[in-house]
Amino acid sequence: MKFIELFKTVQPSHGKFLARVFGIFNEEIVRIWCRDSRAPYKDLGRPTLRRKSETRGHALDFSFQDLKNGLIYIVEMKCWLEYQNYKYLSLTAPSFLDCFEGDPAFDKFLEVSKGNGICQVFIDSESVCISGGILIWGSVSESGRSALMKERRLHDVLSLENIISNLVSWQNQEYKDFLNARASRMNELIKGLS
């Protein structure tokens, strides 16, 4: 399954609808992937990044623990499927991150990913030592992934497209049940509106 084939439609309103519905639950797909024993990471929950001078911080999407070495990474997911006529659907260059410049949470994510120590990181109110950052994007080209990891010093760049492909190829039952439940709820909504 390729995101471009699924989400880029001839009718813009159709693609926008699909992207919005998918956006409601796409983070849960990542959590399901992390719970599968074949995934390389375990999700530890949403981290909060806070500068020492701040009383409140900014929350990110996930924190992952590498199952091979125990290292912990902060994780941010960006999945802009149909935004600006699908311009950001597939990450092909590091310049794609320029549109997030000035976003306090994302700026902190990039700073902490470089290992400069300007922020404290908390998971469930407990201070943790972070080894870097991981970005999750909707779809990622291999050249875009490599260039971004090098330029922004990220530990990893994952694609939601590949995460879903893993779950499908693994025949992950939790994922199947999750999709069936979402389909059932959508059917209930449509029936209720008719």
Residues 147-192: tens digit of each pLDDT: 999 999 999 999 999 999 999 999 999 999 999 999 999 999 999 9
Q: Say which residue, 72 or 116, is predicted with more confidence.
A: 72
Pairing of strands 156-159, 133-137: parallel
Closest by CA to 19, choosing from 106, 75, 84, 93, is: 84
pLDDT of residue 100: 86
Closest by CA to 51, choosing from 101, 98, 99, 105, is: 105
